[in-house]
Amino acid sequence: EPEVTQTPSHQVTQMGQEVILRCVPISNHLYFYWYRQILGQKVEFLVSFYNNEISEKSEIFDDQFSVERPDGSNFTLKIRSTKLEDSAMYFCASSEGINTGELFFGEGSRLTVL
């Protein structure tokens, strides 16, 4: 069964450093998303991406964040200068693009900022 894959599974970084989280969405999907979850609590929407541009973003997704689809398979989330409060589990998801479709999530990347 096709799945969304994420790397790394866990990254530890110092405050102020740049971090890139990588995702390989399901191959025939058209919409890509990043969500985050702090301490196993609420799942918060960050950004959605379609046709090589951001389609929606939340207030959390400020100038410190960016997304990119550098090639035909990868979808990345970059945090330019990490803060302590960026520590969270980051989930990538993809969907077929029809609005009746569910999102398929990866296993997540745990980011720890020291």
Partner 1 sequence: AQSVAQPEDQVNVAEGNPLTVKCTYSVSGNPYLFWYVQYPNRGLQFLLKYITGDNLVKGSYGFEAEFNKSQTSFHLKKPSALVSDSALYFCAVRDTQTGANNLFFGTGTRLTVIP
The residue (of 43 and 114) whose beta carbon lies closer to partner 1 is 43
The residue (of 86 and 90) whose beta carbon lies closer to partner 1 is 90
Distance CA 25, CA 98 (A): 16
Task: State the nearest-atom distance from the C-beta of 99 to partner 1, in Å.
Answer: 6
Task: State the nearest-atom distance from the C-beta of 75 to partner 1, in Å.
Answer: 14
By the criterion CB under 8 A, which residues form the site for partner 1? Answer: 4, 31, 33, 35, 40-45, 48, 50, 55-56, 91, 93, 95, 97, 99-100, 102-108
Q: Per residue, what are the HEC states of 40-89?
A: CCCEEEEEEEECCEEEEECCCCCCCEEEECCCCCCEEEEECCCCHHHCEE
Task: State the nearest-atom distance from the C-beta of 35 to partner 1, in Å.
Answer: 8
